[in-house]
Structure 1
Amino acid sequence: MKVLTLYKQMLRESQKFSSYNYRSYALRRIRDAFRENKTLTDATKIQSELEYAQNNLEIIKRQALLSQLFRVDKLVIEK
């Protein structure tokens, strides 16, 4: 449950990037990382990856907030 909650939080926060490129990159990296680690069985490795993801969530939150301060025009692909 903790993993699923963290995954959803990361996806939700990455949607807040004002830049399409950053937003799509963050979504792709989050999905790939969780997909890559879904077969982990070692408890210490799982805990390590969860801590890494939690740190990245905090980074995403800060960066999304900063990106909202400097809004840019939407790209053609977004309209």
Structure 2
Amino acid sequence: KMKILSLYKQLLRESGKFSSYNYRMYALRRIRDAFRDNQNLSDPAKIQNQIEFAVQNLTVLKRQTLVGQLYSTDKLVIEK
């Protein structure tokens, strides 16, 4: 349970690093929805599968936030 909560917080923290508002909000929404959809899982194999999937997504998020920071664009009007 604590590992899952820690992973959730890491994903949220990492998605907040996107320089683009649209990517940031999309990532936050997807993470929240995925964890909400899977919060009632009881099968340990399915839970472990989802944890592994989330860890893979965390590495993708880290890579994409880095790429997004390297090639950032001007801020949107909504961000100013």
TM category (shorter chain) comes to over 0.9
**RMSD of Structure 2 on Structure 1 (CA):** 0.5
TM-score (norm 1): 0.98
Write the mapping of 1:1-79 to structure 2, written as runs, cut at 5 A: 1-79=2-80
Q: Percent identity?
A: 67
The runs of 5 or more residues in structure 1 that have no matched partner are none
Separation of aligned partners in 1, 2:72 and 2:61: 16
TM-fit CA distance, 1:25: 0.2
Q: Aligned equivalents of 2:15 and 2:28: distance in 1?
A: 6
Structure 2's unaligned 5+ residue stretches are none
2:57 and 2:72 map into 1 onto residues whose CA distance is: 22
Task: Please give the secondary structure, in 1, of the residue aligned with 2:22.
Answer: helix
TM superposition outliers: structure 1 runs of 4+ over 2 Å: none
Q: Distance in 2 between matches of 1:55 and 1:69?
A: 22
Cα distance in structure 2, aligned partners of 1:26 and 1:49: 17
Q: Distance in 1 between matches of 2:59 and 2:74?
A: 26
User: Within 2, Cα distance between the matches of 1:71 and 1:58?
Assistant: 20
